[in-house]
């Protein structure tokens, strides 16, 4: 079900406001990425510059957009997108069914475990095999030589590289150009930004085509129309919150 500018009840609005304060206090400022740096997801590939200020201090930023991922059992989730209005209230722009890790969620993500990491994250870049639809974040249009490295022994672990230009030291990586509809549009989370070996790689929010999906390796999937909307809307101060189901 989709929602348009639905005013939130007081409880949810207060929860989002509290989350915004916690996020601003807890998340460190992101460093500006560069082609030569070895730190951070996606930094080995250049992106088309968006309109946002990549140097914005997200530690003190006013969080005005939130994507909330709630577990529904198995690999099914509900993904809700909220925006903060000028009067301080929050409204829900959409709520859609989604897919996440085939083995559920985890507080201790490991490479290859088929789980989605719980927590709150920002986005480092937007990408897609389709042309830039008007991204605010830096946008990278995927090329045939683009791979995201998932070999923990590689210096390029959890990085996007152009294999035609990068000295190969890896045994495995995700071929970004051969993922079909899934990568028409995507957003890279800043999960494992320090590229710690074995802690998981290539955690994205991206498209799906069918709800009978069998689960992901750790990414979150939503319908393409909603993914395109996010590409056109989210900025450096947007956060995605992946929440553990209440026990």
| Global confidence as pTM | 0.82
pLDDT at residue number 104: 97
CA distances from 240 to 34, 42, 57, 67, 220 (A): 23, 18, 17, 5, 11
* 138 touches 54 (CB < 8 A): yes
Distance from chain centroid for Cα 79:
12
Burial of 26 (0-12, 13-18, 19+ CB in 10 A): exposed
Number of Cα atoms under 13 Å in the Cβ half of residue 73: 0
* DSSP state at residue 162: E
pLDDT at residue number 162: 97
Measured CA to CA, the distance from residue 128 to residue 145 in angstroms comes to: 14
pLDDT at residue number 124: 97
Pick from 114, 58, 56, 116: nearest CA to 242: 116
Is 1 within the bounds of a domain? no
pLDDT means per 10 residues in the chain (247 residues)? 54 58 41 39 51 38 90 96 92 96 98 98 98 98 98 98 97 96 98 98 92 86 98 96 90
pLDDT at residue number 88: 87
Measured CA to CA, the distance from residue 34 to residue 41 in angstroms comes to: 11
Query: What values do phi and psi take at 144, rounded to 5?
Result: -65, -25
Q: Which residue has the tokens 């951070």?
A: 40
Is 173 within the bounds of a domain? yes
Query: What values do phi and psi take at 51, rounded to 5?
Result: -95, -5
Q: What is the CATH number of the domain that holds 231?
A: 2.40.440.10
Q: Which secondary structure element, helix H or strand E, spans residue 11, and what is its range?
A: helix 10-26
Q: Which residue has the tokens 């915004």?
A: 20
**N-terminal to C-terminal alpha carbon distance within the chain:** 26
Q: Which residues are catalytic?
A: 206, 219
Is 61 within the bounds of a domain? yes
Measured CA to CA, the distance from residue 54 to residue 37 in angstroms comes to: 15
Pick from 53, 51, 55, 52: nearest CA to 32: 55
Is 239 within the bounds of a domain? yes
Is 21 within the bounds of a domain? yes
Is 228 within the bounds of a domain? yes
Is 131 within the bounds of a domain? yes
- Indicate the number of domains in the chain: 1
Is 109 within the bounds of a domain? yes
pLDDT at residue number 20: 55
The whole domain housing 136 covers 6-243
Size of the chain, expressed as the number of residues it contains: 247
């Amino acid at each position: 079900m989709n929602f348009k500018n639905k005013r939130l009840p007081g409880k949810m609005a207060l929860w989002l406001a509290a989350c915004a304060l916690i996020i601003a206090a807890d998340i460190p400022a992101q460093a500006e990425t560069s082609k030569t740096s070895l730190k951070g997801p996606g930094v080995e590939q250049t992106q088309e510059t968006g309109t946002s200020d990549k140097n914005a201090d997200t530690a003190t930023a006013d969080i005005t957009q939130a994507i909330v991922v709630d577990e529904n059992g198995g690999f099914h989730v509900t993904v809700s997108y909220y925006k903060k209005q000028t009067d301080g209230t929050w409204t829900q722009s959409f709520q859609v069914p989604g897919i996440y890790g085939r083995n559920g969620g985890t507080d201790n993500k490991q490479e290859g475990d088929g789980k989605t990491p719980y927590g709150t994250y920002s986005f480092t870049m937007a990408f897609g095999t389709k042309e830039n639809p008007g991204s605010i974040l830096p946008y990278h249009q995927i090329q045939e030589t683009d791979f995201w490295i998932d070999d923990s022994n590689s210096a390029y672990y959890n990085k996007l590289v152009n294999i035609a230009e990068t000295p190969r030291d890896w045994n495995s990586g995700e071929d970004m150009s051969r993922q079909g509809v899934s990568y028409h549009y995507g957003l890279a989370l800043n999960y494992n930004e320090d590229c710690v070996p074995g802690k998981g790689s290539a955690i994205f929010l991206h498209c799906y085509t069918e709800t009978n999906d069998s689960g992901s390796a750790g990414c979150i999937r939503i319908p393409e129309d909603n993914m395109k909307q996010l590409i056109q809307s989210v900025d450096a101060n947007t956060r995605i919150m992946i929440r553990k189901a209440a026990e």
